[in-house]
Amino acid sequence: MKIYQTHKAPNPRRVRVFLAEKGIEMDYVEVDIAAGENLSPAMRAKNPTTKIPFLELDDGTCLGETLAICRYFEELHPENPLMGRTPLEKAQVEMWHRRIEFHFMLPIGMCFQHTTGYFKDRMTPVEEWGKESGKNAIAYFDELNEHLKESTYLVGDYFSIADIVLLCAIDFARVVQIRPSDEHSHLLAWYERVSARPSYSA
Amino acid sequence: MKIYQTHKAPNPRRVRVFLAEKGIEMDYVEVDIAAGENLSPAMRAKNPTTKIPFLELDDGTCLGETLAICRYFEELHPENPLMGRTPLEKAQVEMWHRRIEFHFMLPIGMCFQHTTGYFKDRMTPVEEWGKESGKNAIAYFDELNEHLKESTYLVGDYFSIADIVLLCAIDFARVVQIRPSDEHSHLLAWYERVSARPSYSA
């Protein structure tokens, strides 16, 4: 099996860090999304949405969506669970993962797409919405900082896929000059903890 | 335990249909989000994001996010699984669930929020973005129709939570006058199938 990805993009990194934490080796095929390599008929046949990353199994079955790929490996290899260990913890991981996606990563992505025009050949950027999204993402730092005041990771003392999505989103946010500030000391301490893990460089 | 919800909103309905399919009884507390009842200090203490629905357990633990609530019950009551039965199927359900959310339900929600001004007391609507989101949601009907040409449900012949999110999103889309048209015959046939289930009226 292999994963089609663009190394610098944030979503493939979520999968790489996830697999590194679980100790799973993977083959990667690099796809140049800026040049539109993901839009070719051959690639669309494998991956109709054209989004990366996607996983191709040895029988040709293709699976898109970052979280679906992670779910597949979590189910196949339950060791080193990153999606929770009990029903309640699994739900809490899902809750935090979605909060990070909807309140931070998605706004950062919108800010990037709508203010830089990076994908303007394949979408209609609305600059005002890009700027508003950037503001919303910045505002969320306060909530995160408050939560991490009394929590080692997003879900108590359990490192999970929710921490991975936040890590990747914070690093990606630099492309639109969005960073936590010194007043977000608990968030910055969390960042120090997660970025010190060997998976950081995956 | 009980679920705080607004009966007419689409996300609580996702949870109600999910629980109906699993045969789980639940107590509901109605929250008037239009009047801002979800924004009170007492409600924020339980549910900091202010989004509905959220689940309150008997010990006071609160769990937000529609999908996290569903995950909790899927884990506690694995009978009548709606999130997949094998590692690959679980991943495919997750993939389709996310595709429906990102390519259809989220754009419908954006169209609603940004063109109607329904929440203008608590966000900054960007009308141009609302209109663009509506167009993107409509465009996705073609992809859905093509997929459902050869698939009884979103994931083959397996009815899942992905079908539930699509059902609830299509019904909600009426508030912004977005509906599949007659040319989407496979999508309409799918709609007939899923809306004939007893859970539809949950």
| Span B18-75, pLDDT tens digits | 999 999 999 999 999 989 999 999 999 999 999 999 999 999 999 999 999 999 999 9
Hey, is B2 helix, strand or coil? strand
Whether residue A158 is found in the same domain as residue A187: yes
Q: How many structural domains is chain A composed of?
A: 2
Whether residue B121 is found in the same domain as residue B61: no
- CB-count exposure of residue B187 (10 Å: 0-12, 13-18, 19+): buried
DSSP state of A201: G
Q: In this structure, what CATH number is given to the domain that contains residue A151?
A: 1.20.1050.10
Mean pLDDT of B108-123: 90
| Span B176-199, pLDDT tens digits | 999 999 999 999 999 999 999 999
With 90 as the cut, is the pLDDT of residue B119 above it? Answer: no
Last residue of some domain: B76, B95, B127? B76
Instruction: Count other C-beta atoms under 10 Å from residue B169's C-beta.
Output: 23
Search chain B and give the residue with CA nearest A124.
B132
CA distance A3 to A56: 6
Q: Count of H helices and E strands in chain B?
A: 8, 4
Whether residue A93 is found in the same domain as residue A52: no
| Span A136-175, pLDDT tens digits | 999 999 999 999 999 999 999 999 999 999 999 999 999 9
Whether residue B117 is found in the same domain as residue B187: yes
The answer to whether B26 and B180 are in contact (CB under 8 A) is no
Give the distance from residue B139's alpha carbon to the nearest chain A alpha carbon, in angstroms. Answer: 12
Nearest to A66 by CA among A161, A130, A198, A153: A161
pLDDT at A77: 96
Hey, is A86 helix, strand or coil? coil
CB contact under 8 A, B99 and A69: no
What percent of chain A stands above pLDDT 90?
Answer: 93
Q: Which contiguous run of DSSP H or E holds residue A5? A: strand A2-5
The reported pTM is 0.96
Say which of A71, A86, A92 has its CB closest to residue B90. Answer: A71
Give the bridge partners for A30, in sequence order: A5
Between chain A and chain B, the number of residue pairs with CB atoms below 8 A apart is 81
CB contact under 8 A, A95 and B68: yes
ipTM tops 0.85: yes
